[in-house]
Structure 1
Amino acid sequence: MCEVTVKNFNNIFPELESVLKSAKLLAIDTEFSCLTASSNLENSLFDSPQDRYSKLRKTAQQILPFQFGLTAYIFDPDSNTYKGHPYTFYLFPKSSVISNVPFVSNASSFLFLSSHNFDFNKLVYEGIPYLNRAQEKEVQQEIESFTIGTNADSIVLEDLIERCCASVDNWINNDKDSETLILKDLEQFKYNYDLKYFCHRELRNRYKYLWTFDDNDGFKVQQLSPELYKDVIKKSKLNEELLFNLLGFTRLFRFLVSLKKPIIGHNLFFDLMLLIQHFETPLPKSYSAFKKTVNSLFPNIFDTKYVTFDVYRNVLKDKKKINTNLESVYLYFKDGPGRHLAAQSPFIELQGDNNCTFHNAGWDSFCTGYIFIRLAHICATEKCQSKRKFFMCNELLQAVSQFKNRLNIARGHLSYIQLDGEDPESRRPPRLIVEGLEKRPVDISKVASLLSSCGYVEVKPYSSNGHRAIVAVDNFGSARRILSQFQSHPDFRIQQYSFLRHSSAASALLW
C-alpha cells in the first residue's frame, strides 16, 4: 500500500502515470466527511432516479472527499496473475478560493473514521489540494488580478510578511558574507501554496535585485546582480507553478479520464458524483446531463455491488438473502466458498505492504478490484464450454459486458441506473395503499410500526384529507406478508396500489 500526501505527490506522479498506463483495470474508492448532509436527504424507497440524484447532489455539494483509493491491476498472462498496486491519497483543499468554504460533517462520521485508524492530522496538514474547472478559472482570475492569497487570514498574512521583511532587512544590513537567507518563518506554510505565492510576490516587489525561490532546504531569498535579476525575471514561472501545485490531485483525475480504462467501484453512484463535483465541474441540476457527463469522462464503469447481487441470483442461483457490503463480499471470495466456484481462477497479488484495514480507501479499492476479477471469471466460465480455461482480461470484460455502466441504487424505486442509455423499468415490489375505514384518518406512525413486523417499510400520506397512505417495501416477501396479515384489520384496509383506482391524476382523467 502506497500512501500519497502533498509531501510526495509530485515526486510519485511519474510512477503513477507509468503504473496506470500499464493497468488493465482501475479500481477506486472514496472516504468522505459525511454520509448525508441532512436528514431530509436520506435515501428512500420512494426515490425515483431523479429524486435520488437530486438528494445526492445536494449532499455532494456540502461535503468533502477525505481519501481517494486507487488500485491499478496489471495482468501477467504467463502466470495468469493480476498484480494490484494500491494507492491511498489524502485530500484537502489548500487554495483560499475553496479553503474558506464550509463543509458538512458530524461526530458519528469522525468517530467511524477514527475507529478505522484515520489520521486527521495527516488529512489537514498533508492533504493534496485540488480544484474543479470553475475553481481553476477563479484561481486564474485571482492570479491575473494579483488578489490570490489575500483571502487568507489577513492578520496572519500581515504578521508573516512583516516578520519575513524584518529577517530580510537584518540579513541585508548585517550579514554581508551569506549569499542566501532561509526564511524559517515560512517553514510551517510549506504547502500553503497561495500564501507562499503572496510572500514571493511581496518580497520581490519590496526589494530591488532580491529574488525568492523554494527548494528542499526551504524558502530562500538571494541578492542578484542587475543583469542576473533581469534574466530570472524573464524566466520566472511563478504563476504557472502556483496553478500547477493548487491543481494537485486534479491532475491525476484528468490523467485517469484521458486513459478511458475500465473503472471499478463498489456502490459507485455517490463516489462518481463526488469526483465530478470536486475535480471536474459543479454537478448539473439535470439527472440526464449528469449521466452524459459521467459517460463522457468514464465510458467503461462496473459497479461490483450491482454485479455481485445479479451474479449471486442469476448465475449461482442462490436465492438466500446476501450481504453485499464490501468486506463481506471480499471475504466470501478471498477465504470463503466463493474462492473456488470456478476452476482456473486467476491469482491476485497485492503489491506493497499488507498492513491494511477496511475503510482505508486504498485497501477498499484493492478489495473492489479483487471482487470484480472473481465475479468476471465466474461469468466467463459460465459462458464458456470449457470449464478449465484461462481467460485474458478482455475476455473477462466481455463476460460481464451486460453490467457495464450500471450503477447500483440502494433502496430506491429502481435497482440500478443505466449511464449510457434509458433506465430500466422498476422491478421493485408493488406499492401498497392503506385506507382508513369509515373515512377515519390513517395514523402514519402507527401503521408504519405495525407493518414493520413484516420487514422494512416506509409509509407516507397519500391524500390531503389524511384518509390514505402509501407504503413502499424493500422485497416481495414483505409485501405478501403485509397483504396476508392485515387483510382484516379493524382500522384500515390495505391493498396493492393501482394507478387507475388510486391515482388522483387517473381519477381526474376518467372523470
Structure 2
Amino acid sequence: MSEIDSSTFKQNFEDIKSNIKAAKFIGIDLEFSALNPLSNYAPSLFDTPKQRYHKLKKNVENSIPLQIGLTAFKFDADANHYVGKAYTFYVKPALFSHVNRYFHFETSSIEFLAFHNFDFNKCFLKGIPYMSRIQEEDLRRKLKNNEIYETNMNFMGEIRSCLDNVSKIVNEWYETATIGDILLLDDFSSRYQTDIEFKFCFHKFIRRNFSDIWIFPHRILTLNRVDAKELNELNDENDFNEEIIDSLLGFGKVYKLLVSLKKPIIGHNALMDVLILLTNFEGNLPDKYDDFKKLSTKLFPIIFDTKHIYYNIQRKNPEEKRCNNTDLKSLYEFFSDGVGRHLTKMDSTSIQIEGDKELIGKYHNAGWDAFCAGYIFIRLAFSEMCQKHPSGKIFMPTEYLRGMSQYNNCLNVIRCSVNHINLNGEDPPSIRPPYYVIEPQGNKKLDFMELTSALSAFGSIEIKPMSWKNSKALIAVDNYSSAKSMIREFNKTKKFKVQEYSFIRHSPIVRAALWSGVTLSGMTLLLLMVTNR
C-alpha cells in the first residue's frame, strides 16, 4: 500500500496511471466529512428509491471526501494470481480565487475517523487538491479572458507581504545581472510549490516588473535572465494558465482517468461513495433520479457492490457456512481466514496486496478498505463460478465479470423500502414486510413513548403518525421475522390492535374521496326525489 499526499502525488502519478491502465478492475473506498448532516433528510424505512435519492442528494451536496482509496487489481494467468496495488490518497478541495468550497463536518464522522487514527493534519496540510468539472470549466474561461487578478486571491495580504520581500531581493540582483545569470530563491521554494495563489501572484509580479526573467520551478525556485530569442521559445513551450489548472486539478486527474478507461469498479456498500464522487468531481447531482442513473452509468458503466452481492449469494450456502455480518471487516476475514476461504472444494486463486505492509489490516484506511472490497469480489465470483463450472478450471477476470453481470450496477441501500437500487433500469420491488397500522385498544390516544419502547425489542422498526388525533400510527418493519414477532407479541398483550395497511381502508385521501362520493350520491338522490315530486 502507498499513502499519497500533495508532496508525493506528482512524482507518483505516472506509476498510478500505469497501474490503473493495467488493472482488470478497481477497488474503491471513500472516507468523508459527513454522512447524514441534515436531520430533516434522515433515511427511513418508508423511503422509496426516488425519495432516498433526493435525501442523499441533499446530504452529500456539502460533504467532501477526505481520503480516497483505490486498488488496481492485476492478474497473472500463468500463476492464477491477483496482485492489488493499493493507494490511499489524502485529498481536499482546491483553493484559488473564487474556487473556494464550504462543506459540512459531522461530529460523529470526526469521532469515527479519529477513533480509527485518521491523520487530519496530513489531510488539511498536505491534501491533494481537486476541482469539479464545473469549477474547472469556469476557471478555464476566466483565465482565458484574463478575469482573474491578484486582488481576487483569498490571502492577498499575506501574499503581498511575501512579494515585498521578493521584490527587494530580485531588484538588488537584477541591477547587476546579465543574460544567463540565475538567482536561487530557496526561502520561497516551498510556498511556490504548495500555495497556488502565491504561485499565480509571483508569476504575475515577475512578468509585470522583469520582462526578460524566466521562472524555473525546480526543487529550489530559480530565476534566470534570458535573451529575447530564448524568452520567445519558453513562452511558446509553456502555458502558465494550464500549469495553474493542472495544479488545482490534482486528484481530479485520477478521477478523469477512471472515467476515460471505464474500468469495472468494486465497492462495498458503494452508493454513498458514488454520490460523493459525482458531487465533488462532476458538480451538482441531477435533480431527477433517472438522470442520476444515466449519468452514473455513463461515467462508470460497471459497478459491483459486494455487500449486495453477498446478501444474494449467501442464501445458496448452508447456515453454518454463512457470515452473519455483512460489514467489510467481517466479510474480508470470513473469506481470507474463515469458513468462506473453503466454500468450494477447488483451490481458489491467490490474492496479494503490494506496498507498505504497515498499513495492511488498518480498516477505515481507504486504501486497505478498497483492497478488501476487491478481495471479497474475487472470492464471491470464484464461489459463484464454481457452481457453474465444477471442473477445476482457471477463471479469467472477464469470466468473473460476465458471471456476476446480474449484479452489475445494483447498489445496496440501507433502511429503505428496497434493499438495493438498479442503476441500469427499473428498481426492484420491495421485499420488506407490508406496512402495518397500529392503534390502542379502546377509544384512547396512542402513547408514542410507550409504543416506541414496546417496538424496540423487535429490531429495526419505524413509526409514522397517521392522524392528527394520535389515534393511529403506521409501522414499517425491516424483515418478516421481526414483523411476525411483533404481531404475535402485540396480539398477546391486548394493548394494541395491529392490522396490515390497506391503501383503500387506511389512506386519508381515499377515505376523504369515498366520503365525498357518499355525500355527492346522497345529494343527487335527494335532488331526484324532490324533482320527481
TM-score range, shorter chain: over 0.9
Q: Distance in 2 between matches of 1:314 and 1:477?
A: 19
1:238 aligns to what? 240
Q: 1:421 aligns with which of 410, 425, 431?
A: 425
Q: Distance in 2 between matches of 1:505 and 1:468?
A: 16
Q: 2:371 aligns with which of 348, 366, 369?
A: 366
Instruction: Say whether residues 1:63 and 2:63 are aligned partners.
Output: yes
Q: Distance in 1 between matches of 2:510 and 2:406?
A: 36
Q: Provide the TM-score with structure 1 as the length reference.
A: 0.94
Shift of 1:264: 0.4
Asked if the contact 2:215/2:223 (under 8 Å) is kept, the reply is: yes
1:433 aligns to what? 437
* Code of the aligned partner of 2:125: Y
Shift of 1:195: 2.9
Shift of 1:378: 0.6
Asked if the contact 2:81/2:349 (under 8 Å) is kept, the reply is: yes
Q: Distance in 1 between matches of 2:327 and 2:17?
A: 31
What are structure 2's unaligned runs of at least 5 residues?
Answer: 518-533
Residue pairs, 1:34-183, within 5 angstroms: 34-96=34-96, 100-143=100-143, 144-147=145-148, 150-173=152-175, 179-182=182-185
Q: Distance in 2 between matches of 1:238 and 1:425?
A: 54
Asked if the contact 1:313/1:319 (under 8 Å) is kept, the reply is: no
Q: Cα deviations across residues 92-132 of structure 1 (Å, max 9, x unaligned)?
A: 12332576322111343223222323222211122111111
Higher deviation after alignment, 184-193 or 134-143: 184-193
Distance 1:232 1:178, change over 3 A: closer
1:221 aligns to what? 223
Q: Distance in 2 between matches of 1:34 and 1:110?
A: 8
Q: Distance in 1 between matches of 2:462 and 2:7?
A: 48
Distance 1:148 1:280, change over 3 A: farther
Shift of 1:319: 9.8
Q: Cα deviations across residues 17-39 of structure 1 (Å, max 9, x unaligned)?
A: 22222211211001111222233
Shift of 1:198: 2.1
Q: Cα deviations across residues 224-281 of structure 1 (Å, max 9, x unaligned)?
A: 3344334433443101111122111111111111112211000000100111111123
Instruction: Give the structure with higher Rg (CA).
Output: 2
Asked if the contact 2:99/2:135 (under 8 Å) is kept, the reply is: no
Q: Distance in 2 between matches of 1:145 and 1:230?
A: 20
Asked if the contact 1:53/1:287 (under 8 Å) is kept, the reply is: yes
Distance 1:133 1:100, change over 3 A: closer
Shift of 1:184: 1.6
Residue pairs, 1:256-275, within 5 angstroms: 256-275=258-277
Residue pairs, 1:282-321, within 5 angstroms: 282-316=284-318
2:32 aligns to what? 32
Q: Distance in 2 between matches of 1:34 and 1:189?
A: 32
Q: Distance in 1 between matches of 2:15 and 2:227?
A: 39
Q: Cα deviations across residues 198-243 of structure 1 (Å, max 9, x unaligned)?
A: 22112211223223231122x3323233443344334431011111
Q: Distance in 2 between matches of 1:379 and 1:167?
A: 69
Q: Distance in 2 between matches of 1:428 and 1:189?
A: 57
Distance 1:288 1:248, change over 3 A: same
* Code of the aligned partner of 2:5: T
Q: Cα deviations across residues 484-509 of structure 1 (Å, max 9, x unaligned)?
A: 11126555422221222211233345
Asked if the contact 2:70/2:88 (under 8 Å) is kept, the reply is: yes
* Code of the aligned partner of 1:379: E
2:381 aligns to what? 376
* Code of the aligned partner of 1:242: I
Q: Distance in 2 between matches of 1:97 and 1:321?
A: 51
Distance 1:54 1:195, change over 3 A: farther
Q: Distance in 1 between matches of 2:318 and 2:247?
A: 49
Instruction: Say whether residues 1:210 and 2:210 are aligned partners.
Output: no
Asked if the contact 2:74/2:83 (under 8 Å) is kept, the reply is: yes
- Match of 2:216, SS state, is strand
Q: Distance in 2 between matches of 1:165 and 1:90?
A: 35
Shift of 1:12: 1.9
Distance 1:97 1:413, change over 3 A: farther
Higher deviation after alignment, 343-352 or 357-366: 343-352
Asked if the contact 2:266/2:303 (under 8 Å) is kept, the reply is: yes
Q: Distance in 1 between matches of 2:156 and 2:276?
A: 31
Q: Distance in 2 between matches of 1:245 and 1:476?
A: 54
Shift of 1:372: 0.4
Asked if the contact 1:81/1:347 (under 8 Å) is kept, the reply is: yes
Asked if the contact 1:442/1:466 (under 8 Å) is kept, the reply is: yes
Percent of paired sites with the same residue = 38
Q: Provide the TM-score with structure 2 as the length reference.
A: 0.90
Asked if the contact 1:460/1:470 (under 8 Å) is kept, the reply is: yes
* Code of the aligned partner of 2:363: F
* Code of the aligned partner of 1:298: F
Residue pairs, 1:393-412, within 5 angstroms: 393-412=397-416
Q: Distance in 2 between matches of 1:42 and 1:15?
A: 41
Shift of 1:7: 2.0
Q: Distance in 2 between matches of 1:500 and 1:383?
A: 47
Instruction: Say whether residues 1:504 and 2:505 are aligned partners.
Output: no
Higher deviation after alignment, 42-51 or 476-485: 42-51
Q: Distance in 1 between matches of 2:242 and 2:108?
A: 40
Asked if the contact 1:344/1:390 (under 8 Å) is kept, the reply is: no
* Code of the aligned partner of 1:430: P
1:332 aligns to what? 334
- Match of 1:190, SS state, is helix
* Code of the aligned partner of 2:146: S
Q: Distance in 1 between matches of 2:24 and 2:275?
A: 24
Distance 1:402 1:231, change over 3 A: closer
Shift of 1:317: 5.9
- Number of residue-to-residue matches in the alignment: 509
Distance 1:210 1:385, change over 3 A: closer
Q: Distance in 2 between matches of 1:58 and 1:186?
A: 41
What are structure 1's unaligned runs of at least 5 residues?
Answer: none
- Match of 1:349, SS state, is strand
Distance 1:290 1:234, change over 3 A: same
- Match of 1:486, SS state, is helix
* Code of the aligned partner of 2:386: T
Instruction: Say whether residues 1:194 and 2:197 are aligned partners.
Output: yes
* Code of the aligned partner of 1:145: N
Q: 2:457 aligns with which of 453, 456, 481?
A: 453
Residue pairs, 1:385-400, within 5 angstroms: 385-386=390-391, 388-400=392-404
Q: Distance in 2 between matches of 1:211 and 1:396?
A: 54
Asked if the contact 1:148/1:194 (under 8 Å) is kept, the reply is: no
2:487 aligns to what? 483
Q: Cα deviations across residues 132-178 of structure 1 (Å, max 9, x unaligned)?
A: 11100221133233416623123222222222212222333477896
